[in-house]
């Protein structure tokens, strides 16, 4: 949990620095929608949350004509989620009649899944003892890794990574615009009007 917070804090610090560096030369406290869109797009992908997920994957393969081979893989990966700000459109940023700047953010998504090779290992790999002439499958571990990546991605989704990424993105964008001098900011999640 502490590692995840440090990662998010580092990403936010870099994003704030980049945003403020671009705002020095084009300061518009009223939040001109065109300027806001172009400035926020420069952040590209804003990773707002990182989970570390570990899964155990087992695959069994029957051999021809007899026997079987199995593998048990312990796999760990870092899953980063956030929003792709390059998808922000001008119609997603507008002023309400009361003067507040409204920003409708793109949907949160998983941006990256990176396997931690130091924590990933084959726990067990066997074939039936009575078929010593049957060779080990050369791609069984690769298939287990592919299955493990999907299980890790699905596990992160079930743990609520997209909800956390959306909440953190809203907070980050509100904070960035506040630092740029825009006082009243309303953040709408994707899909709301």
Q: What is the pLDDT of residues 160-177, one digit of tens each?
A: 999 999 999 998 888 888
191 band by pLDDT with thresholds 50, 70 and 90: low
* Angle value at C-alpha 157, between 153 and 162, nearest 5 degrees: 120
- Per-residue pLDDT band at 7 (split at 50, 70, 90): very low
Query: Tell me, what DSSP letter sits at residue 186?
Result: E
Cis peptide before 65 (omega within 30 of 0): yes
DSSP state of 96: -
Q: Which two tokens stand for residue 16?
A: 């704030």
Domain range summary for the chain, segments of one domain joined by +: 2-188
- Residues 53, 155: contact at Cβ < 8 Å? yes
Distance separating alpha carbons of residues 59 and 122, to the nearest angstrom: 12
């Amino acid at each position: 949990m502490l590692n995840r917070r440090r990662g998010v804090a580092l990403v936010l610090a870099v994003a704030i620095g980049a945003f403020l560096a671009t705002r020095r030369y084009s300061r518009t406290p009223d939040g001109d929608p065109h300027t806001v869109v172009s400035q926020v797009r420069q952040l590209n992908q804003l990773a707002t949350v990182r989970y570390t997920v570990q899964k155990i994957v087992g695959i069994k393969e029957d051999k021809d004509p007899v026997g079987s081979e199995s593998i048990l893989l312990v796999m760990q990966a870092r899953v980063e989620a956030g929003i792709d700000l390059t998808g922000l459109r001008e119609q997603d940023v507008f002023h309400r009649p009361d003067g507040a700047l409204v920003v409708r953010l793109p949907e949160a998504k998983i941006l990256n899944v990176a396997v931690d090779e130091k924590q990933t290992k084959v726990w067990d790999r066997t074939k039936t003892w009575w078929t010593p002439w049957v060779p080990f499958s050369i791609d069984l571990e690769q298939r287990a890794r592919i299955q493990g990546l999907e299980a890790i991605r699905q596990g992160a989704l079930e743990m609520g990574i997209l909800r956390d990424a959306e909440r953190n993105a809203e907070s980050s964008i509100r904070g960035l615009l506040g630092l740029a001098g825009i006082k009243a900011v309303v953040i709408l999640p994707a899909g709301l009007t």
